[in-house]
Amino acid sequence: MINLTANDSVDRPCERNRREKKVLIEKMDYQNVFFEELDCILKRRKPFLAIFRISLSTVSSQFCGNLRSKIVAKGQVEVQNVSIKAEKQQVFHFLPCISPKYLKRIELCLTKPVVLDVMEFADLDQWNGVKEVFTEGLTFLGPVECFGRFSRVEVTVFKMTVEGLFYLKEKFLTSRNFKQFIIHYQHYADEEASDSRLRIVETRKLSEFFGLSFLGAREVNEKHWYFGIPDSNSYALFFSFTFICSRFVKVPLLSVPQGAI
C-alpha cells in the first residue's frame, strides 16, 4: 500500500511514514522528500501495486503539474486500487495516469463538492474497467443504469425514483458478481410534492413495485425487503430503503429472517 500526501510548502519538515513507523526528517524539505519517495515507488511497481492513495488537497496548480509530469514520464501506474483526494480538475488530470490493466477499485474524494454528469467519466478506460466505485463530495447526474454493472458501490446521485431502484434490484438479481450497492440521493421522486404527500404516494408505489416490506426495520422511515436470487441456494438480495439512501446487499440465505422471502 502506498500513501502520498502532497504539500507544496518548501519550508515544512517532512515526516516519512512507512509501515506505521513515522520518522521526522529535519534537514530535507517536504517537496524533495515527496518526489524522492515517488521515484522509488514508480521504480518498484512490478508487477503492480495493491493500493495507491494520493491526496492533493493543499497543493498549488504548479505542484500538481510537476507531479503529473513525473508520473506520466514513468508511464501509467499499474495498481489494483486507487484513491484520489483532490478537486475536480485534479481528479480528471490524475485518473488517466492510472493503468486500467489491473485496476479493480476507484475511490474519489472531492475536496470541493461538485455535481457532475456520470457521462463525463464514460470515456475513461479506468472508470469503464473497474468493478468497485466509492465517491465522496461528488453528486452524479444521469441515468442510474450506468451503475448497474458494478459489484460494489457507494455513490450519491441527484435524483432517485422507484423505477430506478426497481431497475437496480432486477439487475442485481441476475448479476453473479454483485456484492453491495449503497446509493445516496439529494432528491427522491417528485420534488414539487409536499413532504407528506410524497411519502404517502411513494410508499404506495414501493409496495406496487417491490411487494409488502418485511416488518423488521429498526427505523420508522426505513423499509426492508428480501428477495430470492434465481439459481442460488446460498444467497438472497437484501434491499433497505429510506427517502435519502438505499442499500442493496447480497446476504447469506441463512441470515434471512423466517418468512421474509
Around Cβ 239, how many Cβ atoms within 10 Å? 22
Q: Is the pTM of this model over 0.85?
A: no
**Per-residue pLDDT tens digits for 116-140:** 999 999 889 999 989 999 999 999 9
- Burial profile 114-129: b = 16 or more Cβ within 10 angstroms, e = fewer: eebebeebeebebbee
Higher-pLDDT residue of 54 and 132 is 132
Beta carbons of 171 and 163 less than 8 angstroms apart: no
| Residues ≥6 apart with Cβ < 8 Å to 49 | 1, 2, 41, 77, 78, 79, 80
Segment 193-197 shows an average pLDDT of 63
Beta carbons of 113 and 90 less than 8 angstroms apart: no
**Per-residue pLDDT tens digits for 225-248:** 999 999 889 999 999 999 999 999
Alpha helices in 183-248 (DSSP H): 195-210
**Per-residue pLDDT tens digits for 154-174:** 999 999 999 999 999 999 999
